Chain A
Amino acid sequence: MKFTLSWLYDHLDTEASVQQIADKLTAIGLEVEEVTNPAEALAPFVVAEVLTAERHPQADKLQVLSVDAGDGPLQVVCGAPNARAGMKGVFGPPGAYVPGSGFTLKVAAIRGVESNGMMCSVRELELGDEHDGIIELPADAPVGQSFAAFAGLDDPVFDIALTPNRPDCLGVRGIARDLAAAGLGSLREQPIRPVESRCANPVSIHVEDGSGCHAFAGRYIRRVTNGPSPEWLRKRLIAVGLRPISALVDITNFFSIDQARPLHVYDAAKLQGGITARRGRTGERFVALNDKEYEVVSDDCVIADDARVLGLGGVIGGEDTGVSEGTTEVLLECAWFDPETIGAAGRRHQIHTDARARFERGADPLVLEPMVEAATAMILELCGGEPSQITLASAADWADITVPRFVPLRPERVESLAGVHIPGDEQAAILERLGFTLETAGWVPPGWRPDIDGEADLVEEIARIHGFDRVPATPLERAPGVARPTATPSQRMERRVRRAAAARGLDEAVTWSFIAEEEAAPFGRDLQEPAWILANPISEDMKVMRPSLLPGLLAAARRNLDRGASSVRLFELGRRYLPGGEKPTVGILLAGEAIPRDWQSGKARPFSPYDAKAEVLALLDSVGAPVANLQVFADAGPTWHPGRSAKLGLGPKTIVASFGEMHPRVARRFDVPAGTQAAEIYLDAIPAQRTSGRARPAFTPPALQAITRDFAFVVPLELAADQLVRAIRGADRALITGARVFDRYQPEGGELSLAVEIVLQPTEKTLTEAEISAVSERIVGAATKLGARLRS
């Protein structure tokens, strides 16, 4: 919302400075975004008289002027055809920055003649587009005076960011009222005097129930003369960013800005029969004032005559019945539309007008006729004419809309909610200055404050006018003792796993939650239901809520490799969005080199699935998952290399992680090198740790030394090493405390052998050879059951 200081003065009698006004506006919730003064850019430019004008000796199109800008004659070279002795214009001295041309004036020789400044055109001062000559000022313009002051351009423009709850402040009067309530001056009375009607209204007006229009006040005015508005009105509209069109249109725009009250004028000669406010009908179209054609729908509120739709009520008028230079009779409309209908229509048709902005926030329903009177008075003043009586048509529920609402306020509520003590009489004074009236049933909000609907709203009004800066900061009550821990087990898990991953050399990325459909597809394939898809994605690349963290990490890895990174270790801790819910997940991606080439080992080593496995196990361990009990299940799914990936779980149904090499097709799809490794840890699948207090079980170091024995087995090719190790450990759970594959050997075309180191931990007494051979036999026996045999 833009307005000028002079416009504000129409409504507010104040001594306050521009800065004070701006500060107060912000302090009461009308946030000032900017105050600009067009005069600032024009400060160096002054009124000057051309004393003499001679032909330039070297150039036919130039003249050499003698100019008096208040300090005696100056020689100025000028190319304008209208420059002549005796005229007054605008002079820019050396050093002045010319805003419309983008340069700073200096004393210079133009075709051999010295010039001490410039006489300026409208365009050079950014006051308009004309550039066919220099500005001509009236003969009585005072030489040497600031041009901006003379031209009335010294008028600061305020731009405020309005919150949607304040339709009244889409009018200068509403802003002035708030300032006056906050003690920054007094609101000027603006009595409205009804004009005398000279004829009956020949245009019938009808409002259909349920149309979205609830009341329509209309007045017919004949014998008007439409033409350009007077200078003061044009200037005002331009200053707030509106284009003057014609007096009739400018008057409606004036009321829109001045009173937050949209009006409309129809060229009554072009109406076919009476006016009806109703819902749109299928197939109806009209050309709006913005020259675009719209097809209305049955949810739209339209204003129609007997033949056609004229416009979208409260949003935009129609071209057909708009006023023009030749208009001699008009119908003036001051209506009230239901905000929801207006908002929906504006969004549906993508129309942004000042009328829509006001009606969708809620216009004052109590001032329809007074506003018609005020606008009529202005029309008569600027365009002449003879008005009819006012016709007010309304829907059946109009009385409900205009009935006073009562909002009770307990004065103590101000302190208990806003935290500041304000005496009851001061509270009442604030509300009264804002236009509220006190009745027995409570405070009655004025018609321009549709946002007020409860006690908290009244508290806010009082507190904001009193000043939020006067609310004392009050400490929250503090629980006794040291602050208690607040993190939940899952939050602790996330924090631990994140820092464990970083400690292991992984960089944490945060990637988009939404990915392209074709990126999601392979990862969602093993899901039973489709993923979450956005109906209005910002782009096709951000359409599906990710069913896996890996697509985002793969894309990030590719970007890094494209930038020349040789090794990418990324992780992300975020959610997968599955039909059954949002699952906390760790994604890991390892691409490029695990170890760079170096002087000791020579060649670089690429990542292998075992690197991914190492990360997974370390991270699972960091959050207390029962790592020792996890089983490996080969082939992690369709996005993984079938032979180089696996799942880890406590059983086939309780999978806590997948890891391994990405499927070559997936790698190609994401343009990352074959052999890229990845992992996902499903944090929600990790069983909760049993808590039994902080104390650890007692520690008793074994009294006897453990012994190790090595066993080499020839095993079936398909036997997983993990299975063999488990079987061996199971051979004597008490005695065997460790079993680890330390060698794997398979000659070309030969048998596969695995060598396992066993740790035996005696507890009571040193093991005898007989006991050792007994356990060895059990170990070999367990291995044999899996098809292994001891290697001879």
Chain B
Amino acid sequence: MSDVEQTLGRIAAAGDLQALDAARVEALGKNGWVTALLKTLGGMTPDERQVRGPEIQGVRARVTEAIAERKEQLVSAELERRLATERLDLSLPAPERPQGTVHPVSQVMDELAEIFADLGFAVAEGPEIETDWYNFTALNMPESHPARAMHDTFYCEPRDGEPARVLRTHTSPVQIRAMEKHGAPLRVIAPGRVYRSDSDATHTPMFHQVEGIVIDRAIHLGHLKWTLETFLKAFFERDDIAIRMRPSYFPFTEPSAEVDVGWSMEKGRRVVGGQEGWMEVLGSGMVHPRVIAAAGLDPNEWQGFAFGTGIDRLAMLKYGMNDLRQFFDGDIRWLKHYGFAALAIPTLSAGVGA
């Protein structure tokens, strides 16, 4: 059986799949010697076959096994060789997908909507190019009212056949529009762009305000106080929010109050919360009976409160920007620094801050 040893030796010595296959053909191929042996079985007597059969089958099995084993060795050696060459420097940068941002003003508007929705306020809207009547007259500021002059109003060039238009100087005209549209009882906030002809380090000719109004039968100043306290606590996410209502004057509210919020110094920064000092954040009051009447409701039946504040200002106080002008520059460095991730959606369960 030196043929077997020779074949097995050749299989073991095969350096690649080709050599291995040559060894296989020599033994198991059509003209291979093992095949030839197998063919001799047919011409044997049953007795002979009984003896030689297992021997020959054994030879075939040994050769087949040896081939499979060697093949496995060669394949895995080949794989190792290939793997040894397949090296990537994974410290190289991966392709980048740009990350976008949501503007702080939009984020804060979403936060306001979320907080006030829990208090039952819907979000109302109105035009920014507004008639004189909605912006002033209906808000108890007739033509000659001195407060009009204090509004630094932008006027539009007149157009034939249309009432005079101004750029709304506050979101308060939405009070009137919301009362007209939805009647009473009413709870809405109205965020949006407003315009004043004023420009310096802390004023821009365009900025954002949010207005809130509640109209019902028995709403009073105490409800206003509670609502503002509740809102400020939720918005600034602190329980130590202190507010101070000071009597003030707005033509469209009576009584009127300015609202200060307490601040304190934390890490060299002035933050909302505590009571080291006061800063003015809101204007508010009980809606003037004439305003309710102007919106088509009966002031003897309905009353309520309204308040207004600057959205940009709220954003600055909460998120720490210090220059209002940068809000409107579109500087992508600023947007990436102060903007919010797309998925940072304010919710009550996850928190309204981001």
Residue numbers of A with Cβ under 8 A of B are: 26-29, 31, 163-166, 339-340, 343-344, 347, 360-361, 415-420, 451, 454, 456-457, 459-460, 463-464, 468-469, 471-476, 478-479, 483-488, 491, 495, 498-514, 532-538, 542, 545, 552-553, 555-557, 559-560, 563, 565, 567-571, 573-575, 577, 579, 581-582, 595-596, 598-600
Contacts and interface: CB of A to CB of B under 8 A. Distances in A.
21 contacts: A164-B147, A416-B220, A419-B223, A457-B254, A472-B225, A474-B223, A486-B113, A502-B102, A505-B100, A507-B101, A508-B100, A510-B327, A532-B156, A536-B155, A545-B167, A555-B330, A556-B330, A557-B330, A582-B127, A582-B128, A599-B92
Interface of B: 92-93, 95-103, 105-106, 110, 113, 116-123, 127-129, 144, 146-147, 149-150, 154-159, 165, 167, 187, 193, 195, 197, 199, 205-206, 214, 218-223, 225-227, 229-230, 244-249, 254-258, 286, 288-289, 303, 327-333, 335-336, 339-343, 345
Given A419-B223, A454-B254, A468-B247, A513 B113 contact: no
A382 B226 CA distance: 56
B102 A483 contact: no
Contacts of B289: 454, 456
A502 B100 contact: yes
Nearest to B142: A340
A284 B180 CA distance: 49
B103 A417 contact: no
Contacts of A579: 159
B96 to A, nearest CB: 8
Nearest to A164: B146
Nearest to B103: A508
Nearest to A163: B249
B123 A419 contact: no
A360 B145 CA distance: 10
A511 B147 CA distance: 29
A504 B100 contact: yes
A506 B226 contact: no
Contacts of B120: 476, 478-479, 483-484, 486
Contact of B102 (A339, A508, A555, A577): A508
Contacts of A509: 103, 330, 335
Nearest to A557: B330
Contact of A505 (B98, B116, B155): B98
A451 B147 CA distance: 13
Contacts of A559: 329-331
Contacts of A416: 218, 220, 303
- Which of A464, A484, A600 has most chain B Cβ within 10 Å? A464
Contact of A502 (B105, B159, B223, B342): B342
From DSSP, what is the main secondary structure of chain B's interface residues? mixed
B286 A417 contact: yes
Given A343-B146, A417-B221, A471-B225, A508 B106 contact: yes
A619 to B, nearest CB: 12
B244 to A, nearest CB: 7
Nearest to B225: A473
Nearest to B187: A476
Contacts of B167: 513, 534, 545
A556 B326 CA distance: 12
Nearest to A589: B330
A510 B328 contact: yes
Contacts of A510: 103, 105-106, 327-328, 330
Contacts of B100: 501-508, 569, 571
A163 B226 CA distance: 25
Given A417-B255, A534-B167, A26 B246 contact: yes
A571 B257 CA distance: 38
Contacts of B106: 498, 508, 510, 573
B155 to A, nearest CB: 4
A507 B246 contact: no
B278 to A, nearest CB: 9
Contacts of A166: 249
A474 B246 contact: no
Contacts of B156: 532-535, 545
